């Protein structure tokens, strides 16, 4: 892992920086998949509301950031299994600025957010780089597919892994 960066739990005071980072990461990740108009409508204000709610809620301790000398460069978050909602831990998001990819930070964020838990996630169907990353971390395709209508019909696929399949650090 990049030793100039640290992984830590997200704190309520990170909400504004996380909102800006979230929009920036979305623009880097989805620009080729979604229209310029859609990307222009992504607002820091909406993300700020989401982050404030998340970091004040019961799962705040499951949200992590990658911090590079005081600048947030990535984040990951998960939600625990919940009867009637989720059978296993859900990795709801993991994003890292392009400038910080390939340094081991994605793996470190993933390990912080879900450890060795059985987990599942949704990933854009047309994002082979992310899919390859998750496969290296023990995830496999479940066969489930979905479309996010609010995201211009973006197709996504489900990936999951059983407990204990985290890739060893190193």
pLDDT attached to residue 34: 94
Which has more pLDDT, 164 or 29?
A: 29
pLDDT digits (tens, 9 = 90+) for 54-83: 999 999 999 999 999 999 999 999 999 877
> Does the pLDDT at position 167 exceed 70?
no
The pTM is what?
0.90
> Could you tell me if 126 and 33 are in contact, meaning their C-beta atoms sit under 8 angstroms apart?
yes
> Does the pLDDT at position 90 exceed 60?
yes
> Could you tell me if 12 and 48 are in contact, meaning their C-beta atoms sit under 8 angstroms apart?
no
| Average pLDDT of the segment spanning 36-63 | 94
User: Which distant-in-sequence residues (6+ apart) come within 8 Å of 132 by Cβ?
Assistant: none
Instruction: Answer whether residue 96 is part of any domain.
Output: yes
Percent of the chain residues topping a pLDDT of 70: 93
Instruction: Answer whether residue 129 is part of any domain.
Output: no
> What is the domain extent for residue 20?
5-120
Instruction: Answer whether residue 160 is part of any domain.
Output: no
Instruction: Answer whether residue 151 is part of any domain.
Output: no
pLDDT attached to residue 170: 41
> Does the pLDDT at position 53 exceed 60?
yes
> Does the pLDDT at position 1 exceed 70?
no
Split at pLDDT 50, 70, 90, the class of 3 is low
> Does the pLDDT at position 2 exceed 60?
no
DSSP secondary structure, 93-134, as one string = EEEE-GGGTTSSHHHHHHHHHHTTS-EEEEEETT-HHHHHHH
Instruction: Answer whether residue 126 is part of any domain.
Output: no
Instruction: Answer whether residue 125 is part of any domain.
Output: no
Any idea which residue has 């600025």 for tokens?
97
* DSSP element (H, E) containing 91: strand 89-96
pLDDT attached to residue 81: 84
| Average pLDDT of the segment spanning 94-114 | 94
User: Which distant-in-sequence residues (6+ apart) come within 8 Å of 129 by Cβ?
Assistant: none
User: Which distant-in-sequence residues (6+ apart) come within 8 Å of 107 by Cβ?
Assistant: 1, 137, 167, 169
- Tell me the C-alpha distance between 17 and 8, whole Å: 14
Q: Is 142 exposed, middle or buried (0-12, 13-18, 19+ CB in 10 A)?
A: exposed
Q: Which two tokens stand for residue 159?
A: 């990936």
> Could you tell me if 86 and 31 are in contact, meaning their C-beta atoms sit under 8 angstroms apart?
no
Instruction: Answer whether residue 11 is part of any domain.
Output: yes
Looking at the structure of the chain, the number of domains it has is 1
- Tell me the C-alpha distance between 134 and 159, whole Å: 8
**Torsion over CA: 9, 74, 86, 166 (sign):** negative
pLDDT digits (tens, 9 = 90+) for 119-149: 999 999 999 999 999 999 999 999 999 999 9
Instruction: Answer whether residue 134 is part of any domain.
Output: no
CATH number, domain at 94?
3.40.630.30
pLDDT attached to residue 168: 45
């Amino acid at each position: 892992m990049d030793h100039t960066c640290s992984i830590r739990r997200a704190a309520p005071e990170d909400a504004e920086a996380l909102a800006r980072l979230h929009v920036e990461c979305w623009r880097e990740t989805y620009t080729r998949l979604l229209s310029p108009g859609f990307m222009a409508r992504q607002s820091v204000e909406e993300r700020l509301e989401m982050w404030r709610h998340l970091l004040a809620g019961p799962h705040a301790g499951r949200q992590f950031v990658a911090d590079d000398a005081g600048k947030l460069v990535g984040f990951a978050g998960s939600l625990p299994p919940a009867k009637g909602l989720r059978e296993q831990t859900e990795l709801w998001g993991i994003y890292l600025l392009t400038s910080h990819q390939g340094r081991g930070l994605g793996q470190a964020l993933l390990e912080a957010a879900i450890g060795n838990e059985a987990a599942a996630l949704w990933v854009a169907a047309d994002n082979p780089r992310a899919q390859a990353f998750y496969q290296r971390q023990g995830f496999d395709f479940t066969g489930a597919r979905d479309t996010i209508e609010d995201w211009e019909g973006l197709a996504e696929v489900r990936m999951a892994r059983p407990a204990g399949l985290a890739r060893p650090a190193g």
